[in-house]
Amino acid sequence: MASKSKSKPKADLTKAKEIRKAPLTTPTALGADARRDITAELNTLLADFFALYVKTKNFHWHMSGPYFRDYHLLLDEQSDEIYATLDPIAERVRKVGGTTLRSAGHITRLQRLSDNDADFVTPADMLAELKDDNTRMAAFMRETHELCDQYGDVATASLLENWIDEAERRVWFLFESGRTN
């Protein structure tokens, strides 16, 4: 009776060594270039979502004026929606084989949206600034969608389509709430 070899094939040993070198590299069929490029785009988008979340909460906390209640509730709703995208973006980065943000400093280095540390911002300026930021977010997501299309990453593209729609809804509500006529 022939003995069965218990040794692993050479290809399996090579894969095992690669996994030990990069233990957080989740296997993906997308390829190394897609992993690198999509991860970079999603991490930058994640940093922007963090910045937008904090700014929206900041304005929610510091709202004032005759429409306080309406604006306060609107921004609370919008910040919750923005917050709800953070984990799915980070998890998508991991699913495509990348690693994600690790600190507030990392967020600051990557974010494209500006912070607002002003002591006072008028309600109209708050709504206008958030409208502009959400418009930019939709544009950033469209760019990321195009990259995903190039690599055939339909799952990330599909998520982005929903988040683009949410950003456009936020723009619409901010625009309408800030109208003076």
* All structural domains of the chain: 28-178 (1.20.1260.10)
pLDDT tops 70 at residue 4: no
Tell me the three-class secondary structure of the chain, residue by residue.
CCCCCCCCCHHHHHHHHHHHHCCCCCCCCCCHHHHHHHHHHHHHHHHHHHHHHHHHHHHHHCCCCCCHHHHHHHHHHHHHHHHHHHHHHHHHHHHCCCCCCCCHHHHHHHCCCCCCCCCCCCHHHHHHHHHHHHHHHHHHHHHHHHHHHHHCCHHHHHHHHHHHHHHHHHHHHHHHHHCCC
pLDDT, one tens digit per residue, over 142-161 is 999 999 999 999 999 999 99
What's the pLDDT tens digit per position in 42-93? 999 999 999 999 999 999 999 999 999 999 999 999 999 999 999 999 999 9
Q: pTM, whole model, 2 decimals?
A: 0.85
In the chain, the percentage of residues whose pLDDT exceeds 90 is: 80
